Amino acid sequence: MSDYVPIACAEHEKLECAVLRRQPLRLRWLEGDDECEEVVLAVDVVTRDGAEWLHYRRPQGEIAKLRLDRLIAAEPV
């Protein structure tokens, strides 16, 4: 059983639209107890292992992923 807590459908749809539009996002998320922030390009939203994930491209070109229940905010840039 996963400890994943689903995000609101409206937030999920906002991320999917950003992927389709290739829209940069300013993400804020929790990594342990630390709050992180970065401007990224959303690449895909996927469901895997009982959780939803955002795959994104960092400014350096690296592809990273974020479990969506760790997301604090995702705002278009």
What are the tens digits of pLDDT across the range 28-52? 999 999 999 999 999 999 999 899 9
Q: For the chain, list the domains and their CATH numbers.
A: 9-76 (2.30.30.100)
Q: Greatest CA span in the chain, whole angstroms?
A: 36
Predicted local confidence at residue 1, as pLDDT: 42
The model's pTM: 0.91
Locate the DSSP E strands across the chain: 24-31, 34-48, 51-57, 63-67, 71-76
Backbone φ and ψ of 13, nearest 5° = -65, -40
